[in-house]
Structure 1
Amino acid sequence: MTGIRSLAVVSRRALASLGAALAVAFIALSPGAALAGDGDRQVSKMRVTIATGTDDLRNASNAVATLKYTNASGNQLVAGGNLNNGAQWPGGSTKTVTIPMPVGIVLSRLLEFSIQFTSGQPDIFATGDNWNMNSITVTAILDDGSEANLVVQADSPWLHRFQSDYHTRWATPL
């Protein structure tokens, strides 16, 4: 009987040690914990503020913002969203849009910010749209609530003129 009790005590101790080792391994290998230990922050949202110049972003046209980044496995991915959802941005207006980001985008692994413009035609008689972007500010909102400016650019008469069939993409490295 004594031998069986000793085996039971050893088994409980071994099981407790194994459980503790697995818990430590799980915490050490989980991306969130590893990143927090590295002192790097995850991007939870992207806030984009754009000033439109004299040529508006027409109804039915779309401006899509994307962040290109490298994930923990070394793959390059993109995340983003539609800024105007087909709504008009009048000439001389300033619009701010906040886009939620998927989990796993790390501030130090951001590669590029871009806007892809698609000209829309609200009716069959409308010509292709052009849009003047005078300035842009892109801010990363981090998982701890702090913020980091990624892009702050402006130019005159415009920073970039998107045209219906060319110059449809604007990008800047981060």
Structure 2
Amino acid sequence: MSTLIKTDRFVLSETERSAIEREMHHYEDPRAASIEALKVVQKARGWVPDGACDAISEVLGIPASDIEGVATFYSQIFRVPVGRHIIRVCDSMTCYIGGHESILDSIRDQIGIQPGQTTADNRFTLIPVCCLGNCDKAPALMIDDDTFGDIQSGGVAALLESYQ
């Protein structure tokens, strides 16, 4: 059974707290462990709920505002619940010229949501990103940690179907 650590607005599990403490010891300055601490919470919960920054700051011994700054800066840290699979569609100029709009339209048609939304079954969240660093294979998208380039709108359905 896991012991819970309580703060005013959030509860860290003992497992989360221990993982954050382990990460903290890898860095001279505890602020440097902020992103790793946020990733610990996100891995356990799927997102970083309100109040998590206060709980993390208590463990790291730094101001919650420092944690909040990191959490809001990085687009890979989710501050709202997201689906099991995150679809990131590149909307950089290169991908836009390469057919970004038709890919985005195809994804919207297949899963029935707009960018920034999550499907009702929590299967997918669709997020536009400014660049995936895959410009030589535009248009590009990522699903979870998998990057795909030279995407054609006709191949979107099969690609999405492979992510249950």
The answer to whether the superposition gives a TM-score over 0.5 is no
TM range (shorter): under 0.3
Alignment TM-score, normalising by the size of structure 2: 0.21
Q: Which has the higher helix share?
A: 2
TM-score, normalised by the number of residues in structure 1 = 0.21
